[in-house]
Amino acid sequence: MDALRHNFSLVKQRLAAGVRLCCVIKANAYGHGAAFLSRFYETMGADFLAVSNIEEALQVRREGVTLPVLILGYTPPACAPAIIAADLSQCVYSLPYAEALSSAALAAKGRVRAHFKLDTGMGRLGFVCREETPLPAGLSTAATLAGLLPEGIFTHLARADEGEAGKAYTLRQLSLFKTAVSAMRRAGFSFPYCHAANSAAILAYPNEALGGLLTMARAGIVLYGLKPDPAMAFSSLAPALTFKTVVDFVKELRPGDALSYGSTFVADRPMRVATLPVGYADGLFRALSSSGYAVTVGGRRAPLVGRVCMDQCLADVTDLPPLALGEEVVLYGGAGESAEATATKAGTIAYELVSALSSRVPRVYREGGRILAVSDALLASKG
């Protein structure tokens, strides 16, 4: 929690005066635990929260959080009554979707708070922006629908994390977005929340991405102390998460003994190998098998050997002092290998690595050296 406070403050310092902060807690707060962190960000003074879908949004409301919550992805129009009842904001990205959502809202005798998404170059969802058409087709019509309450307008940047290689593309996206917002304002529409800056833009484009028309920024992975791209020249972040397990068995191997599925590892010397009760069902990717990845025990590296299984993996502890049952093992973060380095060995990115931490992994929240809370999703479930 100390790291999260540091990163939150760092992000706030990089925002221009008056720009509000939206904390993104989708995918279980990037694996860190959305239930606990939604309450934390509210106490820290966040202005908005963002999630991927309505289930994530309703989880926030069940926690008693009253901050505005934006659903960034698709919600079935039939869920309009639930959106209204929970006082949520919904991404609206096309005229057909706007019409369906508006109709469902009117049938429920209410209005849905809408953030209109513009596609300036990400190519996923959004009213398409082009240089030759300052006002995207269908946008103004969607904003007049009786079942929608225009609250925000936004876009998403595709290459803000690429440094100079992505600068021209990013500035073009921002230009298209500002042109469309200006056209909407000239047409008589105004939006309290105007946002384009993601984590990468907050770090790399503080002036272009946060000035002018923009009134809010969306911070995601940066809040958790991880860079949007490992190559980004920004060293002030504090990674918040350490993924740990314990030693549950140590065995002696003779030359020729094989390990795990497929017998892909065969000892070529006398060895000691520790079994760890963690596997790919917990979020330790199978791709880390034979990748050069090592866990950390007592500050010393122990290479993974054999294939990572669903619930267990194996580490070479031959060169380590004798290990006790239950001895702590760092998989990544903290005193271990960084999440970014681990992700690289798995052939992926830190976003995927931490977001893949499964619900059966308890989250322990610490601050100032003491435990604040423990979240165990399996034991908390009521079925």
Supply the residues annotated as catalytic.
Answer: 26, 261
Which long-range CB contacts under 8 A does 300-308 form with residues at least 24 apart? 302/274, 302/329, 305/259, 305/260, 305/265, 305/273, 306/259, 306/260, 306/261, 306/264, 306/265, 307/260, 307/261, 307/262, 307/264, 307/265, 308/279, 308/280, 308/284
**Cβ atoms of residues 222 and 198 within 8 Å:** no
Instruction: Say if strands 20-24 and 216-219 run parallel, antiparallel, or are unpaired.
Output: parallel
324 vs 76, 246, 247, 321, 332, CA distance in Å?
A: 52, 10, 7, 10, 20
Six-digit token string for 200: 């990468």
d(CA 23, CA 36): 13
Length of the chain equals 383
Instruction: Say if strands 112-119 and 328-332 run parallel, antiparallel, or are unpaired.
Output: unpaired
Contacts of 32 by beta carbon, 8 Å cutoff, 6+ apart? 224, 240, 241, 354, 363
**Cβ atoms of residues 201 and 158 within 8 Å:** no
d(CA 62, CA 236): 34
Contacts of 140 by beta carbon, 8 Å cutoff, 6+ apart? 184, 187, 189
